[in-house]
Chain A
Amino acid sequence: MTQVVIDHTESFLKSFAELTGVSYEKIRDYASNNNPLNIINHPYSNAFGRDVVDKILQLKEFYASYEVLKNAENREVKLNSSEASKNYFLSLLGNIKDKERFLVSYLDSGLKLIETSVVSEGSVNEAAVYPREIVKQALFNDAVFIIMAHNHPGESCNVSTQDIKCTQKVVDALGALNIKVIDHIIIAGKTAVSMTESGLFPSPGISRER
């Protein structure tokens, strides 16, 4: 078992060295005192050059996306906190700069992800959202809760009046069906803002601490 883990790490280190251009000796040296898998989450702590850090950050982003996809396949995503929601949507929407994309996640009663759909895509500053379509999809998925998210291609973290109005429309449309909208996440570059967390959600949110 130990051998398997070592081989696993060895191949990781070799691939990492080949891909980033960092010398294998340097990576081995780091790995002798640290968990080598931490490199991807802490690229700045190893005195790498700018070009290497850029490669690691791209790898990290790709891995975040890969992780989301694999977890979605395994149905293991649970959006039971604003933090979890922000990380989840950051991996889906972070750094989309050429268009606005609006996503909705449909959750079961245990806040486990049933499905996430792209509701609309728009130009750089506008994506049309029709509550009727979200209602249809929520019923189709038998959702108990939903979380909305969209990106601001201009990378402004501010929640706009339009964002609040749009949230209110969806909250009202789903309210009668007892399907609760529990958050709306705004993604601006590598930053995520939770409307619930920041007190801007247009109706009383519910506690997601379970």
Chain B
Amino acid sequence: MYFLRIEEAEQERMAELLANILELNDIDRDIVLKAIENKGIDCFLGNPRLFGLSADICLKVRHIKTIVETLFKEGVDASGN
């Protein structure tokens, strides 16, 4: 029996989802999960180069960041409402 703050649980889930997206772009999910495990998802999204990943992976991560930040800034509701 234990409690986790939701941020931890949510970040864990976000890491999985991010790895899924990158996997669809032919990037090894284990590399992504390992990188996120080290410094957290915010850091990974913000500075993917810090993790010694290839330029191709960094670029894909930046695209994902641009997309989600734009949607959030513009107030798009993920539930479609």
Contacts and interface: CB of A to CB of B under 8 A. Distances in A.
Interface of A: 8-9, 11-12, 15-16, 18-19, 37, 40-42, 51, 54-55, 58-70, 72, 87, 90-92, 96, 101, 103, 115-120, 128, 130, 133, 137
Contacts of A18: 59-60, 63
A70 B5 CA distance: 14
Interface string B66-81: 1110111110111111
A206 to B, nearest CB: 23
Contact of A58 (B2, B13, B21, B77): B21
Select the residue from B13, B60, B64 with max chain A CB neighbours within 10 A: B13
B11 A62 contact: no
B67 A63 contact: yes
22 contacts: A8-B70, A8-B74, A15-B64, A18-B60, A19-B67, A40-B67, A41-B76, A58-B20, A59-B67, A59-B68, A62-B64, A63-B78, A65-B17, A66-B68, A70-B72, A92-B9, A92-B10, A92-B13, A118-B4, A130-B1, A133-B1, A133-B3
For chain B, which range describes its interface: under 10, 10 to 19, 20 to 34, or 35 or more residues? Answer: 35 or more
A67 B66 contact: no
Interface of B: 1-11, 13-14, 17-18, 20-21, 24-25, 59-60, 62-64, 66-68, 70-74, 76-81
Contacts of A130: 1
Contacts of A60: 78
Contacts of B1: 119-120, 128, 130, 133
Contacts, number: 124
A5 to B, nearest CB: 9
Contacts of B77: 41, 67
Contacts of A103: 6, 9
Nearest to A67: B78
Given A58-B20, A69-B10, A63 B71 contact: yes
A102 B75 CA distance: 29
B66 A15 contact: yes
A52 to B, nearest CB: 10
Contacts of A58: 17, 20-21, 24
A112 B54 CA distance: 42
